[in-house]
Structure 1
Amino acid sequence: MAITAADVSKLRKMTGAGMMDCKKALQEAGGDFDKAVEVIRKKGMAVASKRADREASEGVVLSKVSSDARKGALLVLNCETDFVAKNDSFVALAQSILDLALEKGANTLDEVKALELDGVPVKDVITEQIGVIGEKLELAAFEVIEAESVISYIHPGNKLATIVGFNKANIENQMAKDVAMQVAAMAPVAVDRDSVPQDIVEKELEIGKEMARNEGKPEEMLDRIAQGRLGKFFKENTLLEQAFVKDNKMSIKQYLQSADKELTVTGFKRFSLND
Structure 2
Amino acid sequence: MAQITAADVNKLRQQTGAGMMDCRKALIESDGDFEKAIDYLRKKGAKIAAQRSDREAREGVVIARTTPDGKKGVLVLLSCETDFVAKNQDFIQFAETIAQTALQHDVHQLQDLLQIQIAHEPLQNRVLDQMARIGEKIELSRFERIDAPGVVAYTHAGNRIGVLIGLNMVLDPAIEQAGRDIAMQVAAMKPIAVDRDQVPEEILNREKEIVWEQLKQDPKMQGKPENILAKIAEGKLEAFFKENTLLAQTFVKNHEQTVAQFLASVHPNLRVTGFKRVALG
**TM-score per shorter chain, which class?**
over 0.9
TM-score (norm 2): 0.94
Matches within 5 A, 1:120-199: 120-171=121-172, 172=174, 173-199=176-202
Aligned position for 2:271? 264
Equivalenced residues, count:
274
SS state of the match for residue 54, structure 2? coil
- Unaligned segments of structure 2, at least 5 residues: none
Matched, 1:211 2:218: no
Matched, 1:253 2:260: yes
Distance 2:246 2:153 in 1: 16
Distance 2:48 2:58 in 1: 18
Distance 2:57 2:266 in 1: 43
- RMSD over equivalenced CA pairs, Å: 1.3
Q: Following TM superposition, by how much is the alpha carbon of 1:219 offset from its aligned partner in structure 2, in angstroms?
A: 4.9
Aligned AA (1:78): S
Distance 1:12 1:152 in 2: 35
Runs of 4+ with deviation above 3 angstroms: none
Aligned position for 2:203? 200
TM-score (norm 1): 0.96
Aligned position for 1:223? 230
Give identity over the alignment, percent: 47
Q: Following TM superposition, by how much is the alpha carbon of 1:57 offset from its aligned partner in structure 2, in angstroms?
A: 1.3
Deviations 1:34-75 (A, max 9, x none): 222122122222222212222111111111111110011111
Matched, 1:39 2:7: no
Aligned AA (1:201): L
Seen in structure 2, the aligned counterparts of structure 1 residues 202 and 9 have a Cα distance that, compared at 3 Å, is: same
Deviates more, 1:202-211 or 1:186-195: 202-211
**Conserved? CA contact 1:213–1:222, under 8 Å:** no
Aligned position for 2:4? 3
**Conserved? CA contact 1:48–1:131, under 8 Å:** no
SS state of the match for residue 3, structure 1? coil
For residue 239 of structure 2, the aligned residue among 225, 232, 239 is: 232
Deviations 1:46-105 (A, max 9, x none): 222212222111111111111110011111111111111111111111111111011101
Distance 2:90 2:168 in 1: 37
Aligned position for 2:70? 69
